[in-house]
Amino acid sequence: MTIRPIRYLGDPVLRRPAKKVSRVDDSIRRLIADMTESMYLAQGVGIAAPQIGVGLRVVVIGMPDEEPFALINPVVIKRSGERRLDEGCLSVPGYRGSLTRSIAVTVKALDEDGREIRVKSEGDLLAQALEHETDHVNGLLYVDRLDAKTDLVKLEPAGAHVRDGDD
Ligand code: NI
């Protein structure tokens, strides 16, 4: 496993829609292992491959006290409701923003054995992470979803972004 540096806002890899994974093989499983390590080191609860510079549609989610899992080629197939949330991102260190997310989210994807899975969550951090990480593989960041620039808040001290809920 290799820890890979996190890419930050301004890096074009975060803005390119990532490529679909055509075959789930050992190279993808190695990527997932690297992403998982990099996510935990940065104290995130989710990470997408473009955040370590890899333009593939691969996401890892690691909720506190739960086993991490991968989503390959994730697509949000159902969402409902709206709620206001506070959000951060490993690629936008030192900031938090408030934005509107769905209450219930269902994602269809492949797992790391290439089997089709569905992950559904409602009203919790996982539902938020499913939307946040699927946005990443589409080249979107949460800052794109703010209603106003004033919804973005700089944390003090500058750079102290590592806390629960950053993904
Ligand atoms: Ni993020």
Total-model pTM: 0.92
Do residues 87 and 98 touch, judged by C-beta distance below 8 A?
yes
For position 151, what pLDDT does the model report? 86
Closest C-alpha to 129, from 51, 67, 44, 54: 44
Average pLDDT for residues 14-26, to the nearest whole number?
98
Cis peptide before 157 (omega within 30 of 0): yes
Express each pLDDT in 119-134 by its tens digit.
Answer: 999 999 999 999 999 9
* Domain segments of the chain as ranges: 12-154
Containing 84, the helix (H) or strand (E) segment is strand 83-87
DSSP string, 28-66: HHHHHHHHHHHHHHTT-SEEEGGGGT--BSEEEE--TTS
Using the mean position of ligand 1's atoms as its centre, give its distance from the Cα of residue 165 in Å: 10
Using the mean position of ligand 1's atoms as its centre, give its distance from the Cα of residue 7 in Å: 10
> Catalytic positions, please?
133
Q: Which CATH superfamily hosts domain 12-154? A: Peptide deformylase (3.90.45.10)
